[in-house]
Amino acid sequence: MTIERRPFGRTGHDSSAVIFGAAALGKADQGTADAVLDLLLEHGVNHIDVAASYGDAELRIGPWMDRHRDDFFLATKTGERDHAAARDEIHRSLERLRTDRIDLLQLHALFHPDEWERALSPDGALDAAIEAREAGLVRFIGVTGHGWTVAAMHRRSLERFPFDSVLMPWGWQCARHPTYARDFEATLALCEARGVAVQTIKAIARGPWAAGAKRDHPTWYQPLEGEADITKAVQWVLGRPGIFLNSAGDVGLLPTILRAAGGGHETISDAAMAELGQRTGMASIFGL
């Protein structure tokens, strides 16, 4: 079943409610990557989110762009904080992705106050992104981040510059964190008022890997695994109108996530999520 599409903020693009998180391709060969492309096309996914730091992911996506550039809203990220380094990384991403334009260039993992100040000050990474936009290499500019402080940091970022999108964690455990939940809601309200697209990550996180546990997924956190459990977690997030869910960094989990998103948006109650959380031992992946 084709996944619903939603307006991606004020960009004018209708993106699939699930955005492909291409960190899953960081260590993949091209054959595996091409099988993922077929899966994305089958489910109507039309938005890819990658980053310069995701191993070989940009290289794996490059051949897709030779044939399907107009079928995808293409987003990548720079983790550099200074103008020259970010400028060079943007051009490298264009080369690796085999394209002359990036739809969304994001400042990656911008939550540490010192790095935030460097990136958003004169001669910082934001200047390189603006320069690339003025040159027609980038269409829109966003910001991403992790951890319990990032929703508040995104509001600070939006007061400094009119970013077109933000990316931050959201899922059942995030909603149980009193401070983060308040910050998320405040940031979401600001984004809705300004037409800023909101992407979410970590929807299917179960918790941190236990010491000595067999890590049978490449994700840095232990994910939910059962199809029914993943379906509840995905549909709980997508039950919120207007927000997007970025898929997990694991090719093996992608089909289940796409099936969950394409199967309609049943309203998942908080009671059902509480039962899931208790039964699976869901816990914070960012500490207290």
Q: Give pLDDT, residue 176.
A: 93
Distance CA 210, CA 94 (A): 38
Distance from C-alpha of 9 to C-alpha of 237, rounded to nearest angstrom? 17
Confirm whether 287 is domain-assigned.
Answer: no
| Alpha-carbon span 204 to 79, nearest angstrom | 24
The secondary structure of residue 278, as a DSSP letter, is: H
Q: Which single residue is written with the structure tokens 């994305």?
A: 40
Task: Report CA dihedral (253, 222, 61, 87) to the nearest 10 degrees.
Answer: 160
For 98-137, the three-class secondary structure string (H helix, E strand, C coil) is CCCCEEEEEECCCCCHHHHHHHHCCCEHHHHHHHHHHCCC
Q: What does each C-alpha distance from 33 to 66, 74, 231, 257 come to in angstroms? A: 14, 16, 24, 17
CA distance 6 to 223: 26
**pLDDT string in tens for the chain (288-residue length):** 789 999 999 999 999 999 999 999 999 999 999 999 999 999 999 999 999 999 999 999 999 999 999 999 999 999 999 999 999 999 999 999 999 999 999 999 999 999 999 999 999 999 999 999 999 999 999 999 999 999 999 999 999 999 999 999 999 999 999 899 999 999 999 999 999 999 999 999 999 998 888 888 999 999 999 999 999 999 999 999 999 999 999 999 999 999 999 976 678 999 999 999 999 999 999 976
Instruction: Indicate whether 286 belongs to any domain.
Output: no
User: What are the residues whose beta carbons fall under 8 Å from the beta carbon of 117, sequence distance 6 or more?
Assistant: none
Asked whether residue 57 is assigned to any structural domain, the reply reads yes
pTM for the whole thing? 0.97
- Closest by Cα among 108, 51, 45 to 245: 45
Kindly state whether residue 39 falls inside one of the protein's structural domains.
yes
Taking the C-alpha atoms of residue 150 and residue 169, their distance in angstroms, rounded to an integer, is: 8
* CATH at residue 192: 3.20.20.100
119: amino acid identity, one letter: A
> 82: which strand partners?
124
Q: How many domains are contained in the chain?
A: 1
CA 112 to chain centre: 18
What is the residue range of 146's domain? 5-280
150 in a structural domain = yes
Q: Distance between CA atoms of 87 and 223, rounded to whole angstroms?
A: 35
Q: What is the DSSP code (8-state) at residue 135?
A: T
State how beta strands 14-16 and 5-7 pair.
Answer: antiparallel
The Cα-based distances of 239 to 49, 56, 75, 129, 269 in angstroms read 21, 33, 24, 33, 10
The strand pairing partners of 104, in sequence order, are 75, 140
Asked, for residue 173, whether it belongs to a domain, the answer is: yes
**DSSP calls for 192-236:** HHHT-EEEEE-TTEEEPPPTT----SSSSSEEP-SHHHHHHHHHH
The kind and range of the H/E element at 43 are helix 30-43
β-strands 47-49, 73-78 pairing: parallel
In a domain, 231, yes or no: yes
Decide if 76 is inside a domain.
yes
Q: Are 165 and 106 in contact (CB under 8 A)?
A: yes
At 65-96, the pLDDT tens digits run 999 999 999 999 999 999 999 999 999 999 99
